[in-house]
């Protein structure tokens, strides 16, 4: 694959009432995106180093 792309969209997120008191959907979405992006970049580095 010379060109690849990965998109992730969180369109619906449900949180229990008691958890809504502690965190918002926005905070959870940002955390999920941060974790996925970190994982994506780590895997990209592994893949990139294998090609060299």
3-46: pLDDT as tens digits = 667 777 888 888 898 988 899 988 998 999 999 999 988 988 88
Q: What pLDDT shows up at residue 52? A: 55
Distance, in Å, from the CA atom of 31 to the CA atom of 13, rounded to the nearest integer, reads: 13
Q: What pLDDT shows up at residue 51? A: 63
Domain boundaries, the chain: 17-51
Say which residue, 51 or 28, is predicted with more confidence. 28
Say which residue, 25 or 51, is predicted with more confidence. 25
Give the Cβ contact number of residue 10 at 10 Å: 12
Closest by Cα among 52, 47, 40, 42 to 5 = 40
37-46: pLDDT as tens digits = 999 889 888 8
Say if residues 33 and 52 touch (Cβ distance below 8 Å): no
């Amino acid at each position: 694959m010379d060109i690849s792309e990965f998109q992730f969209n969180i369109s619906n997120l449900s949180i229990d009432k008691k958890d809504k008191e502690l965190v918002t959907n926005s905070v959870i979405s940002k955390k999920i995106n941060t974790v996925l992006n970190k994982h994506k970049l780590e895997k990209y580095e592994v893949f990139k180093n294998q090609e060299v």
